[in-house]
């Protein structure tokens, strides 16, 4: 076994706690995160299928009664993380945050099922998992798209997972910061502040959170009154792909998904309304302020992962993608470096993230095999040089953020081992 494959497995095992795995063991993220856990499960599936299933089961144990799967589960109350469970003050069986994160579980589960021999005992577990994911997706359709547009909203930048992306700059400018706000960040004591979001961003994150809390996280209420409401093309691409995957998995178990199938049809049609034909790019929409958002973010290319049946658009996107940061040594930068919002080192405003590369690699495979292999090769090289950090400079590969980062290790395993 190659050394780094071995190290990737050890990284995951080192971050593992009782039935779930931390995004990193350096105290920055001392809880279970939703989309991190999905990537982590994929990593485990290459050497311990039971751990993979357990990771997902534990995450779904935190599902709310209405169907939402929270973005964080606070299994351990004694940590320094902010905002911790007391600041959120919610949860069902497990203390949690009151918002969600990109729903990629169905996609990850499908990959795991396609690649593995599953025992009868595991099949039973998986059927329960699939039922819960269906409820999760139905929650999105019901509460995050009340007008039935085929596109779902996020109500907090943290729901995207790309927390301080410039995509949110304009909608965030409009968020009024609560008076006399008092809280204490922990993240910028653990990681260099120039690699983390700004204080003014946190003031707004906390103000939005407090407003959700004031409305008791009532899903109908908060859709109307959240200080932040955005339809993001990247997020909707991940949801569209996950819906397609969920239908396929559910068919195997004879589970009913007609609501989801109907929704996919509407999404496929209406997501094209976010396409700017002239520029050949997708934009997002600030629902609260009724504005289009044009930011050259790598997450806009997640649409390739959603497999739109439109070669004209796909080809145009791939052409633009090849220019995204072609003059840099490493790709993909989160933001096109020529854009004025680009910052080489700051979290989601410039650095290379392995999960973004992974979505794009997956999206390219059936459209431009040569380029997809190139993306894979370059990503593996970056990880081999800089190891399993959270994010990396696109200029020189400098590793940044947390070390021993679980999803970087997990996706390294997938890039290296997956047969296709």
Q: Contact positions toward ligand DGY, by CB under 6 A?
A: 71, 158, 163, 187
Element (H, E) at 72: strand 72-73
What would the DSSP string read from start to end of 234-250?
Answer: HHHHHHHHHHHHHHHHH
φ/ψ of residue 230, rounded to 5: -130, 135
With beta carbons less than 8 A apart as the criterion, state whether 29 and 81 touch. Answer: yes
Shortest reach from residue 163's CB to ligand DGY, in Å: 5
Shortest reach from residue 248's CB to ligand DGY, in Å: 29
Q: Is the peptide bond before 332 cis (omega within 30 degrees of 0)?
A: yes
With beta carbons less than 8 A apart as the criterion, state whether 159 and 217 touch. Answer: no
With beta carbons less than 8 A apart as the criterion, state whether 293 and 354 touch. Answer: no
Shortest reach from residue 97's CB to ligand DGY, in Å: 8
Give Rg (Cα) of the chain.
20
Shortest reach from residue 187's CB to ligand DGY, in Å: 6
Residue of 36, 159, 245, 390 marked catalytic: 390
Shortest reach from residue 299's CB to ligand DGY, in Å: 15
Residue of 163, 187, 286, 344 marked catalytic: 163
Please tell me the distance from the alpha carbon of residue 243 to that of residue 237, in angstroms, as a whole number.
Answer: 10
User: In Å, how far are 156, 171, 214, 288, 357 from 343, measured between CA atoms?
Assistant: 22, 19, 34, 27, 18
Closest to ligand DGY by CB, 186 vs 266, is: 186
User: In Å, how far are 54, 125, 163, 244, 393 from 352, measured between CA atoms?
Assistant: 29, 35, 14, 27, 6
Shortest reach from residue 273's CB to ligand DGY, in Å: 29
DSSP state, residue 178: P
With beta carbons less than 8 A apart as the criterion, state whether 56 and 36 touch. Answer: no
Closest to ligand DGY by CB, 163 vs 232, is: 163
Structure tokens at 408: 């970087």
Please tell me the distance from the alpha carbon of residue 354 to that of residue 415, in angstroms, as a whole number.
Answer: 10
Closest to ligand DGY by CB, 138 vs 169, is: 169
Comparing CA positions, the residue from 29, 41, 98, 111 lying closest to residue 69 is: 98
Shortest reach from residue 281's CB to ligand DGY, in Å: 26
Closest to ligand DGY by CB, 186 vs 272, is: 186
Q: Is 384 a catalytic residue?
A: no
Residues 103-116 as b or e (16 or more Cβ within 10 Å = b):
bbbbbbbbbbbebe
Give the residue at shortest CB distance from ligand DGY: 158
Shortest reach from residue 164's CB to ligand DGY, in Å: 9
Q: Is 390 a catalytic residue?
A: yes
The strand pairing partners of 276, in sequence order, are 281
Cβ partners under 8 Å of residue 150, min gap 6: 263, 266, 267, 268, 269, 270, 271
Closest to ligand DGY by CB, 187 vs 245, is: 187
With beta carbons less than 8 A apart as the criterion, state whether 393 and 352 touch. Answer: yes
Which residues carry out catalysis?
Answer: 163, 390
């Amino acid at each position: 076994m190659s050394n780094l494959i071995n190290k990737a497995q050890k990284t995951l095992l080192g971050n593992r706690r009782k039935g779930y795995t931390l995004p990193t063991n350096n105290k920055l993220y001392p809880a279970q995160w939703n989309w991190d856990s999905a990537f982590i499960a994929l990593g485990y599936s290459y050497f311990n299928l039971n751990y993979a299933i357990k990771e997902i089961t534990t995450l779904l144990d935190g599902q709310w009664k209405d169907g939402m799967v929270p973005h964080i589960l606070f299994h351990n109350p004694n940590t320094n993380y902010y905002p911790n469970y007391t600041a959120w003050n919610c949860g069902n069986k497990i203390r949690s945050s009151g918002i969600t994160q990109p729903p990629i579980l169905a996609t990850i589960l499908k990959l795991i099922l396609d690649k593995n021999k599953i025992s009868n005992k595991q099949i039973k577990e998986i059927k329960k998992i699939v039922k819960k994911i269906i409820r999760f997706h139905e929650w999105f359709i019901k509460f995050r798209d009340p007008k039935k547009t085929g596109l779902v909203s996020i109500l907090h930048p943290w729901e995207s997972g790309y927390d301080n992306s410039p995509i949110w700059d304009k909608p965030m400018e409009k968020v009024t910061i609560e008076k006399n706000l008092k809280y204490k960040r922990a993240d910028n004591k653990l990681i260099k502040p120039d690699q983390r979001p700004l204080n003014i961003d946190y003031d707004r994150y906390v103000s939005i959170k407090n407003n959700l809390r004031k409305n008791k996280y009532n899903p109908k209420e908060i859709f109307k009154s959240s200080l932040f409401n955005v339809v993001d093309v990247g997020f909707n691409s991940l949801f569209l792909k996950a819906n397609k995957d969920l239908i396929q998995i559910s068919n195997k178990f004879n589970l009913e998904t007609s609501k989801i199938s109907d929704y996919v049809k509407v999404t496929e049609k209406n997501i094209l309304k976010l396409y700017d034909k002239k520029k050949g790019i997708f934009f997002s929409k600030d629902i609260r302020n009724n504005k289009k958002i044009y930011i050259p973010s790598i997450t806009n290319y997640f649409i390739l992962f959603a497999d739109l049946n439109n070669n004209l658009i796909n080809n145009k996107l791939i052409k633009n993608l090849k220019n995204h940061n072609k003059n840099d040594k490493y790709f993909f930068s989160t933001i096109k470096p020529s854009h004025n919002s680009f910052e080489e080192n700051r979290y989601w405003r410039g650095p290379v993230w392995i999960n973004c590369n992974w979505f794009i690699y997956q999206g390219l495979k059936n459209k431009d095999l040569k380029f997809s292999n190139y993306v894979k090769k370059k990503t593996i090289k970056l990880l081999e040089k800089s190891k399993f950090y959270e994010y990396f400079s696109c200029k020189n590969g400098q590793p940044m953020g947390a070390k021993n980062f679980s999803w970087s290790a997990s996706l390294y395993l997938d890039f290296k081992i997956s047969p296709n």
